[in-house]
Chains A and B, each alone.
Chain A
Amino acid sequence: MIAFWVLAPVMVIAALGILFVRKAVHAALLLAVVMISLAMLYAALEAPFLFAVQIIVYTGAIMMLFLFVLMLVGVDASDSVVETIRGQRVLAVMVGGIFAVLLGVIVGQAGIGTAVGLGAANEGGNIEGLAEVLFSQYVLAFEATAALLITAALGAMVLAHRERLVPRETQADRAAARVRAYGEHGDHLGPLAAPGVYARHNAVDTPALLPDGSPAEQSVPTVISNRGTGRPSPSYRDVDRVVGQLQSRRDDQDPATDTVVEGSGSAARGEDA
């Protein structure tokens, strides 16, 4: 009985919490508290099998399903506090309160005196006793639950499963399509070049330069080019100048590659500024 007086307030508080918390996740966790406490009460009521089933089925499966769906729906889903039907909440709470008192009084006063206890019924073991009842009186209901479970599975499939119209495209399919496009239209086969990094500007809105110095337009993300905010590559002029410098130096005397690069770099920088 100690278990009862410890758990009962916890359960009532947790259950009331479900009424008042805003977030659905918190409600789910509070419900889990109620359910686990309930399992302990089952143990106190000489129902060890239900104690296990309550934890495995209710807390383990049903509550987890709730939590999964909450995650899919969005954990932040919370209730609006706006009342759509005026006074509905007050009315519901009042009705509920009256109902609770009524039910409590009725059931409490019905009280029923000394319990017979399950000593005799559980004599050969609780599970054996349950099995005896389950497979004699309720065997048809037990078989009928099969229909229930199949319906549930069928329903989940109908409402949640999306059948593919066309077979899923695999990596091999995509590669083959690419090669085909190359063969037919001469489309670029490899991956696209990265933007700007290879030009002088380390920016995604500037096209990269091809080896001959011309900009690779495809290297700019299509979003940017469609939006029209891409920058033209400043490099044409640079390239011409560099080529000019290179030729003039080559005409002069010994060309040292690194200085050329440095020189062109600084020249370009100066121009940009």
Chain B
Amino acid sequence: MDDVTPFLVLSAILFSIGCVGVLTRRNAIVVFMCVELMLNASNLALVAFAKHHGNLEGQVAAFFVMVVAAAEVVVGLAIIMTIFRSRRSASVDDASLLKY
């Protein structure tokens, strides 16, 4: 297994699926899951490139992305919880007071 190209193609596909998910899904939690999918896809690309270049920087970067994602999830879910508490709905469409 000398070529990491298949891994990169897979990561591109997963990233795009995550992207579409963010744009189409309504439930804020599912939207956020799709963002996590995008981050995971990016991690796969980082790790694959690390193997390609033969240095560990990519793996370290993936590790940092995980740490950041963990912190982001805490804040994000807390925000989603508060908004759910006040309007009993996690749909992003219901959150439409702010319009021009």
A touching B, CB within 8 angstroms: yes
Contact of A79 among B14, B27, B79 (CB under 8 A): B27
Residues of A within 8 A of B71 (CB): 145, 148-149, 151-152
Instruction: Give complex CA distance A160, B75 in Å.
Output: 10
Given contacts A65-B73, A79-B30, A115-B52, are A16 and B17 in contact (CB under 8 A)? yes
Residues of B within 8 A of A73 (CB): 29, 80-81, 84, 90
Closest chain A CB from B41 CB (angstroms): 9
- B59-81 interface bits toward A, Cβ cutoff 8 Å, 1 = contact, 0 = none: 11011101111111111011111
Q: A103–B12 contact, CB under 8 A?
A: yes
Interface size grouping (class) on chain A: 35 or more
Chain A residues in the interface with B (C-beta under 8 A): 1, 4, 8, 11-12, 15-16, 18-19, 24, 27-28, 31, 34-35, 38, 41-42, 44-47, 49-50, 53-54, 57-58, 61-62, 65-66, 69-70, 72-73, 77-80, 84, 88-89, 92-93, 95-97, 99-100, 103-104, 106-108, 110-122, 126, 129-130, 132-134, 137-138, 141-142, 145, 148-149, 151-153, 155-156, 158-160
Q: A12–B13 contact, CB under 8 A?
A: yes
Instruction: Give complex CA distance A218, B27 in Å.
Output: 48
Main secondary structure of the interface of B (DSSP, over half): helix
Q: A133–B75 contact, CB under 8 A?
A: no
Instruction: Give complex CA distance A69, B78 in Å.
Output: 9
Contact of A160 among B3, B19, B47, B82 (CB under 8 A): B82
Q: Which of B59, B63, B82 has the most CB of A within 10 A?
A: B59
Q: B51–A117 contact, CB under 8 A?
A: yes
Residues of A within 8 A of B23 (CB): 88, 92, 95-96
Q: Return 8 A-B CB contacts under 8 Å, by A number.
A: A19-B20, A38-B43, A41-B7, A69-B29, A88-B24, A117-B51, A126-B56, A145-B64
Q: A15–B17 contact, CB under 8 A?
A: yes
Instruction: Give complex CA distance A8, B21 in Å.
Output: 19
Residues of A within 8 A of B33 (CB): 18, 27-28, 31, 66
Residues of A within 8 A of B19 (CB): 96, 99
